[in-house]
Every structure is written in structure tokens, then in C-alpha cells.
Amino acid sequence: MACDRCLAQAIQAKLGRCRQCAVQAFVIALSGWLAWWGYGADTSVNALTGLLFAVSGSGLFLLHMMVMCWRRLLGAVS
């Protein structure tokens, strides 16, 4: 998952700078949490798959936000 701007350069150089990728990560996390909740938030295979999807999407979104904040604190805003 990456936009054309992120594919043009190294991922580490763009992580935390691309708004489109951050929004995509947020949508992935939100859809995962909705799937987990929609399947009953129990121990069924569907609910556990939704939970895994939600946790990984949330982690990716948090990584984007942490890098963005870190770069803004250091003054390296693109």
C-alpha cells in the first residue's frame, strides 16, 4: 500500500509525510475495528481475523503519526 509519491522515493524518506497514506492507514484500521465489532467481537475466526486486521492497521497509522510528530518537532517538515 503506497501512493505514487511514496513509490517514487524510499518509504523511510516519505513515512510520516504523506497525508494520503496516513488516511489510507486510518481507513484500514477503522474498517478492521468495524469488522471485528460487526462479527460479534468474540473468538470466532472472522472476529479474530478482523481484530488482526484492526491491530495491524492501527499500528501502521500510529507509526505514521509518530514519525510525523517526530519530524515536526525536529523541524524537518517537507
pTM reported for the whole predicted model = 0.68
Q: For residues 70 and 48, give the distance between their C-alpha atoms in angstroms, rounded to a whole number.
A: 32
Domains of the chain: total: 1
Domain with 26, as residue range(s), is: 4-74
**Number of helices and strands in the chain (H, E):** 4, 0
**pLDDT in 10s for each residue of the chain, 78 residues:** 445 555 555 555 556 567 777 788 889 899 988 888 887 777 778 888 888 888 998 998 898 888 888 877 887 555
* Closest CA relative to residue 48, chosen from 58, 59, 35, 60: 35
